[in-house]
Structure 1
């Protein structure tokens, strides 16, 4: 699983998100790698009919109806969105909400990607069986330093922690992945995919960097 979080970067603002997603579609097909994109929330509708999974960056434990400003999972599904990130380091939420939202996405047959900051959280939340757990040490996010090289033991320990839950949860590696070499190392250490952001979105050549990452996964 190759997940790209676009955050609220200016590089994909407006209709630039369309070119970005089309590039990802091409790379996914070429390398036979599952690529998913999490665009800024206000641009989801622009690309929700893509041939690759479009994810929300955040969801709320709110219901359809009088819930102004909240992001409701059921409505996202009706718009073609395939799942969501939960508890990203830049949008942390309480543990009770995490559990409710993982369950909600499971009920809706949507993809849940639960972000954690350390091995202890990976072990704790693997028990609630999200589809993916993405480990991303906050100090490495956007640093240009990869967790696979700066803290390789974190990936191996997280992989063991996730596996110990004995369910279908898979580990993704996040934070600071900037090259194909970083991707290969993460996979070698036990990750089943990657969660990346600035390393892709801020690149001058999306096609080239997505190809490099996808090729390194296979």
Structure 2
């Protein structure tokens, strides 16, 4: 799994999101690689009909109906969104909400990507059997310093935790990934995919950087 979190970067604003998704879709076909994109929430409608899998950046533990301003999983599914990030370090939520949201996405047959800051948190939420655990030390997010290089022991320990859990959860590696070399290192350490943001969104040439990451993943 190759997930690109667009956050709320200005580089992806307006119609630029459509251009970005088309580039990712083309590279996905070329390398036969699954690339999922999490656009800014208000831009989901512009790209939800594309062939590229679309994830939400966040969802709320709230109900369908009179819940103004909340991001509701049931409605996202009707907009062809396939799942969501949960508990990203920039949008942390309570353990109770994480548990309820993983269960809700499972009921809806949507993908859950639970973001964790360390191995202890990974072990805690592995008990929920989410589809993916994405480990991202907060201090490395957006730093340009990849966790796979700066703190490889975290990935190794997280990989072991996932194996010990003996469930269907897969591990993704995030934080500071900016090159194909970073991607290769993360996979060598046992990660089954990556979650990346600024390393791609802020690059001057989207096609070049996404292709670089894709080649690294295929190797």
The bucket for the TM-score relative to the shorter chain is over 0.9
Q: What is the alpha-carbon distance in structure 1 between the residues aligned to residue 97 and residue 183 of structure 2? A: 31
Q: What is the alpha-carbon distance in structure 2 between the residues aligned to residue 168 and residue 215 of structure 1? A: 26
CA deviation digits over 1:22-61, x for unaligned, max 9? Answer: 0000111111111000000000000001112100000001
Give the 3-state SS of the residue equivalent to 2:112 in structure 1: strand
Residue 214 of structure 1 corresponds to 214
Give the 3-state SS of the residue equivalent to 1:177 in structure 2: coil
Instruction: Give 1:55-204 correspondences, 5 Å limit.
Output: 55-204=55-204
> What root-mean-square deviation, in Å, do the aligned CA atoms of Structure 1 and Structure 2 show?
0.5
Structure 2: tracts of 5 or more residues without a match: none
CA deviation digits over 1:91-142, x for unaligned, max 9? Answer: 0000010000000000000011000000001111111110000000000000
1:163 Cα deviation from its structure 2 partner = 1.5
Q: What is the alpha-carbon distance in structure 1 between the residues aligned to residue 104 and residue 43 of structure 2? A: 23
Residue 36 of structure 1 corresponds to 36
After the TM superposition, which segments of 4 or more aligned residues of structure 1 sit over 4 Å from their partners?
Answer: none
Q: What is the alpha-carbon distance in structure 2 between the residues aligned to residue 70 and residue 162 of structure 1? A: 31
1:155 Cα deviation from its structure 2 partner = 0.4
Structure 1: tracts of 5 or more residues without a match: none
Give the 3-state SS of the residue equivalent to 1:190 in structure 2: coil
1:8 Cα deviation from its structure 2 partner = 0.2
CA deviation digits over 1:169-192, x for unaligned, max 9? Answer: 000000000000000000000000
Q: What is the alpha-carbon distance in structure 2 between the residues aligned to residue 192 and residue 49 of structure 1? A: 27
CA deviation digits over 1:63-93, x for unaligned, max 9? Answer: 1100000000000000110000000000000
TM-score by length of 2: 0.99
Residue 48 of structure 2 corresponds to 48
Q: What is the alpha-carbon distance in structure 2 between the residues aligned to residue 54 and residue 151 of structure 1? A: 30
1:162 Cα deviation from its structure 2 partner = 1.3
TM-score by length of 1: 0.99
Q: What is the alpha-carbon distance in structure 1 between the residues aligned to residue 134 and residue 14 of structure 2? A: 28
Q: What is the alpha-carbon distance in structure 2 between the residues aligned to residue 43 and residue 128 of structure 1? A: 30
